[in-house]
Structure 1
């Protein structure tokens, strides 16, 4: 019979205490893993939303602003030294491998004279624009050269529809689509492609470049150096509330994990110490019949390794499965199972470390003289 066989037999003889220790490991680790898995899932969902929907970095031409002050009152001034956002700016962004850009949408924005008023002209790359703005819904088709799409506000106010024409700069442009109401400035805009917008507005540079990136902070800082002629701004207000909620839950998960970890460690230490003290006579008999202290240490370490390893593995698995079952009920979100090697390794290693340390804390009982140990019988 090997030392491992002896350790297994000892665990079988003490089923109650063994089960209690295993459940302690399972409970602490599963709750910790479940909370951290939920926090990570919420953070990933936020990043995914930022990546898939809408721009989070906006690039505009840099300008200096002069403000007038009269008697301590500031009044709007003028912009001067307005720099152009040349077309090569877009090429520099696209060719840079360090930028984690998942979507890019340049624009040419200007105004032109119509039959009765001036219209806002927005030249866009429709495939990229619609990818970044899925809430844009167009009735009709995308415009070609010398064709336009109008916002719902213009269509309703001027009684225009698909097939009508819009007079711009004393020339009629066919309307091939109408954008559904968005509640924004798009409702009163006229959309077309780049070549037509250049011809209408006479603008020969980008008015704005919108980017979608998974790392808006780093991207904005990097682009500020890459494009000195541009003003780079991160749109953080749109996600500030969601980010704060995710951060609060992450902090709650961390604090709860620490508290549970401390409680679990104390329970394991106290239980293991008590178990070994209860087995002083048994350990004395083992030494009396020829077992060395290193053999006894080895048996006890094998016992706690089996217990803590089982508890660590079961705790990790239950911790990963709990969010899948309770996520739709408690958090109104679906969490898919994803094996995380780092979390698994950390959870199992921590349980093994706690178990082994608890054995050495009870070394006094193991170090007793065989005759002194036998006196406990």
Structure 2
């Protein structure tokens, strides 16, 4: 792993120097999200919790974000339980909370939500003083249970940024450090856990989006740059032909994906997704690509620094989530349906055992 990390660090640092002649004949793929028209999706989540013993309850995350790249529209539901729209009370994560009496046979809830999304891309050539209230920025600098900002996290962040002084320079170096040192590990369950202190202490920086983007967020926070994870779901295939950057709309039960944002003084909240760079490098082809200069990786490496594609919905930016009515502990994040019964919490990473399905359909503009 050390050899691989050294290789990737060198490759990321040399991203501008094309030194792999064997790739010269391979055409570079296009990946260039640009803000344009809105896309409208209807998202349907159906939960039929299995093996419920005694009273049970379910929490289904709802889109909680209304921004210049997402509009969270109406939500409806049907259930044979008692359902209420609620939120965690601190982090702003909205959800549908459903409780089922022990006498209810075959408990179920179906949630239908409409959202509008569009691509994001910052115009680096047009800086403008950005404003954000101090409380929001302070919240995006705080340590959380899984994303501390002291000790090895801060030490790593300081080494990554080196002599960088501006927020933009720090973020650029942290993005490159994460791309160069972390890697996609397909064997990790779900989206990962996001325990960045353990990742750094063990030196095992392999993971999935909730690990790699949490690492990026934690390093940014540790050097004073507000950052946050955005937890959500891929809704449709990528318009740019990347298999790993999209999903099958008819079956989204494994399509959860978190992204990241940083706040830059000259641009406001800016999109980032180093985890998807790692995913393309590891899984887009049968070969593990180990250079950001590769024609398949280079456009994604560039495009996901400041942008992302609008085939995805964001649920929330919440950490350390308290589920209303839960008898168990907080969640590190809320991106999957959650259920509990008398025996404890169901495994959200096993949808076929838990029994939930998620699907989306897009309404084409007329």
TM-score when normalising by structure 2: 0.18
Structure (1/2) with the larger strand percentage: 2
Structure (1/2) with the larger helix percentage: 1
